[in-house]
Structure 1
């Protein structure tokens, strides 16, 4: 589900997204790390609460659009669940609706499928920080780390990693694909991207993506090398 939500988050104007199941309980959530989990859960409960009437006010709505001064909350009902997206006020609702219609079918299929057996994963993974993969929308901005085979981090992500491992500043990271166990040690550089979308993620050049066999949204185990 996270991979589907990552694609929704790539729509211009979308800040974060989640799938909320029966009773207002989030079952998948892809938001920037600075967002308070309790607040997100509270929004889900409010939307799902029959007493509030949000989901039943218009019968069986195709889409619910809550508009505020600085942003919007868009809700796409599904069978016994819904997708909730936090957006900027300038989000293109037409483009988002098309993406939501595609995502709805995939998400409903995921929710209907039997739970997958526990993954063997990577030994010791529970003690490691896991961050999702992403790449710059405009690859030309990252020409330096593309050329030299580097991973890039925003200042917020550097702080997150250093705090997790209680470490001093670092220059290299060991990155491990959680699914296939492919790993490598790579130099890192700090990029001052103003878009908070990149916080809490590992921005990879195409060469590292290929080596680790990852795509945008995959989880990487991160260790300071």
Structure 2
């Protein structure tokens, strides 16, 4: 499967590619090292989330082209999986489509024969004993409002909320059990979903100072995230 993705990446304008399962798990990827797997996992979870509409579109369209200011995300529906590509803004979609049609047959053959690799894990978003692990972070400014600090809440971005929902296959949750695996300190905390303009908060648990102190967790350290 890695060989197929590397071949796709030779198409001019393709930056990286990955295959994710129906539940949003990253099965294989070919991206430059600067792309953290937690980011790729977040994108895969969003695409696979039934709420995004990509799944329903997959039945009617052969290719989904999501265009952004600086680039494009191209989604090719596969049998019980998705092929995702990060592309340059000016990529020739007709040339790309030819390569993807060839790759689709090869990838679906691998999936059908059960020869896909095991889902990948990353330190920032790893499944350890069926528990999701995400890094902690703290927002220095007051963009998310005083209530975040005042009421001792944790916060997540919409992308992180979808990632957690996809991992545990549940709807949006208002509370999470957060555990510092190093100290064993744990607690159940109310969670608010915030719209942060900075995508660097995606795939992370945003902590107020009181939770950081209670769990003795530092910025960037890992937390296990469970449903209470």
- TM-score with structure 2 length normalisation? 0.49
**TM-score normalized with structure 1 length:** 0.50
